[in-house]
């Protein structure tokens, strides 16, 4: 069975809070990632280096062109952004659920 060590860091990063997201609004995953990166004062290049990503991967993720493709990508990106892994997993799942619901709604109309 696959397990992810959610307590990898010695001092766990604090959860990130945004008023619009906390009030229940749906915010695109790429927008949330961009906000955290900027809040940390980090460039796309630095996040890509920390997470071991190819050059255009983060740009495509932030713009919404691509999504997060694997569990290991979520772990690496959360660590690079200095945010809780569980929170980025929650955001990614919420994003996928919303995209699936939107696709289903379009198919029925």
Question: Which residue in the block uniquely carries the two structure tokens 């945004």?
Answer: 18
pTM: 0.78
Q: Please write the tens of the pLDDT for every residue from 41-84.
A: 999 999 999 999 998 999 999 999 988 888 999 999 999 999 99
Domain spans in the chain, listed from the N-terminal domain onward: 26-108
What is d(CA 88, CA 35) in angstroms, rounded to the nearest whole number?
A: 13
Q: What superfamily would CATH give domain 26-108? A: lambda repressor-like DNA-binding domains (1.10.260.40)
For the cut 70, the answer to whether the pLDDT of residue 4 exceeds it is no
What is d(CA 88, CA 81) in angstroms, rounded to the nearest whole number?
A: 10
């Amino acid at each position: 069975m696959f397990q992810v060590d959610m307590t990898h860091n010695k001092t766990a990063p604090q959860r990130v809070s945004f008023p619009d997201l906390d009030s229940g609004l749906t915010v695109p995953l790429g927008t949330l990632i961009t906000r955290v990166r900027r809040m940390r004062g980090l460039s796309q290049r630095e996040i890509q280096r920390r997470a071991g990503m190819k050059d255009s991967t983060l740009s495509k993720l932030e713009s919404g062109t691509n999504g997060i493709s694997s569990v290991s990508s979520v772990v690496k990106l959360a660590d690079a952004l200095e945010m809780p892994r569980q929170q980025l997993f929650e955001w990614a799942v919420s994003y996928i659920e919303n995209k699936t619901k939107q696709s289903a709604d379009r198919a029925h109309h």
